[in-house]
Amino acid sequence: MKETALYIHIPFCDHKCIYCDFYSIITNDNVEAFLSSLKTEINFYSEKYNANRKFISVFFGGGTPSLMEPDYISKIITHLKSRFNISEDAEITLETNPGTVDKNKLLLFKQAGINRLSIGIQSFHNDELKFLTRIHDSQTAINTVHDAVDAGFGNISIDLIFNLPGQTKSKWLSNLKQATTLPVKHISAYSLILERGTILNKMVLDGKVNMQDVDYDADLYETTIVYLEAEGFYQYEVSNFTKPGYECIHNNAYWRYKEYIGLGTSSHSFINGKRWWNFSSLKRYISEINKKGNAVANEEHLTAEQMHDEYVMLALRSKGIDLAEYKKKFNGDWINKNYSYFQKLKDEDLIVFEKERIRLTKKGYLLCDEILKNLL
């Protein structure tokens, strides 16, 4: 049985944050039409890709999936389980924004089958939340975590963003301190990145916002690694930290180059060396589903070299290159050809050679992009 992941993109949102470049729409139009189309798309792919597969995770992203009613999410999960071979212990994650849920709604999400929450907090400082144009305040974020625990969730992740304009190291550390005092098992910490087409990008281009430099960003990142590991969160990917036993199964599917099927607007899929992606426009998505059962906008067939490079990139960004797995997928010539560079990285304390694995050190994570550029 081939382990595979499922992603569902819910496009509906109540507000577009200035830094967000994910496809989302601020409207209630076509909510039921989207559900109907999503069920049709589920049917289409289950007929093609259900055989000899075990689906180990389901991830509801967006948009703001927690904006939907629990019954809406329940209908999707029920239909998924009726058409796909979803493992009994599958991780089922719902991206959740403070301000869109209360304890009762979270309890109903739990009853619907959600067993992991990813809460988009971003900051515990109200001025930073206001800058990011989040709809919640700090206390609402804290309350949401406690409400989730009271609703029965034991697997809770939170997202935080560092290197905001003007953010001091002490202010970022206070965010980390608050995060680690909460009953959460997983923390994703991302640097604020300018994405083309976002409101923030235009603000920077117009001179209304000044971003901090890359050296300061690297300093905050190093601070994050040191602080979270001291608090019992080990780093298992460039931006992700977890208590033992709570690595995100869904994200690991991506980082370990497993196959996945994306459903809904703008979602991506990767099966048998082929990658394809859906139309972003909700109206186009619904129209295409009605016509042919899928909403594929385009596809690409990866070459052996592309698959090799993607595997190496994802492996080094996470738990490292598993040499036994690598040799099954590819021949060992590339590692042998780059042995002298690997040795140089080892001498500089950027990687370590374990028994059957090559992985980055904490120092190596700081220079991950540069290392990958040199290798690939």
Q: What is the DSSP string of 183-234?
A: S-SEEEEEE----TTSHHHHHHHTTS--PPPHHHHHHHHHHHHHHHHHTT-E
Q: Which domains does the chain have, with CATH numbers?
A: 2-255 (3.20.20.70), 305-375 (1.10.10.920)
Residue % of the chain over a pLDDT of 90: 83
Cα–Cα dist 365/103, whole Å: 38
Residue 334 has pLDDT above 80, yes or no: yes
pLDDT band, very low/low/confident/very high, at 259 (cuts 50, 70, 90): very high
Residue 193 has pLDDT above 90, yes or no: no
What's the angle, vertex CA 79, arms to CA 285 and CA 154, rounded to 5? 105
pLDDT band, very low/low/confident/very high, at 23 (cuts 50, 70, 90): confident
Residue 289 has pLDDT above 80, yes or no: yes
pTM here is 0.95
Residue 263 has pLDDT above 80, yes or no: yes
pLDDT (tens digit, 9 = 90+) per residue, 67-125?
Answer: 999 999 999 999 999 999 999 999 999 999 999 999 999 999 999 999 999 999 999 99
- In the chain, DSSP assigns E strands to 2-10, 53-62, 86-96, 116-122, 156-162, 186-191, 234-237, 240-242, 259-264, 268-271, 274-278, 296-301, 321-322, 351-353, 357-360
pLDDT (tens digit, 9 = 90+) per residue, 27-73?
Answer: 888 999 999 999 999 999 999 999 899 999 999 999 999 999 999 99
Residue % of the chain over a pLDDT of 70: 100
Contact predicate 146/208, CB 8 Å: no
